[in-house]
Amino acid sequence: NAGVMQNPRHLVRRRGQEARLRCSPMKGHSHVYWYRQLPEEGLKFMVYLQKENIIDESGMPKERFSAEFPKEGPSILRIQQVVRGDSAAYFCASSPGTGYSGEQYFGPGTRLTVT
């Protein structure tokens, strides 16, 4: 499967716990983007990363949220001390590093439920 991979697909956390969402970009892609889709709302940009670099985190909440894309392994979106308002679908998208046309390809998403 050469598509964008995300895991887990579903994640249930109790309030105050930590959530870790993983994303492996499409083969040949080196740029990763995280988006959040709250219930009954549109997709909102959170963060854009290249390997070992956060390029744009203008959409990330200032507290409790962090993202990384290490040299080896998947990109990780980390949410500390989750609250019910964090319940949403989190999508990762990827694009190539060179010859970027604006097209981004989305993974299946992680649906986070905070109880």
Specify burial of residue 70 (Cβ count, 10 A radius: 0-12, 13-18, 19+): exposed
Q: Say how many C-beta atoms besides its own lie within 10 A of residue 18's C-beta.
A: 11
Task: Give backbone dihedrals phi and psi of 77, rounded to 5 degrees, phi first.
Answer: -105, 125
Please identify, among the stretches 10-18, 42-50, 66-74, 75-83, the one whose residues bind another protein according to the rule CB under 8 A: 42-50
Name which position in 25, 109, 112, 114 contacts another protein (CB under 8 A). 109
Name which position in 44, 52, 53, 83 contacts another protein (CB under 8 A). 44
Q: Does the footprint of another protein cover residue 43 (CB under 8 A)?
A: yes
Which residues, numbered 58-77, are part of the site for another protein (CB under 8 A)? 58-59
Q: Half-sphere exposure of 31 toward its Cβ, with a 13 Å CA cutoff?
A: 16
User: Which positions touch another protein (CB under 8 A)?
Assistant: 31, 33, 35, 41-45, 48, 55-56, 58-59, 91, 93, 100-109
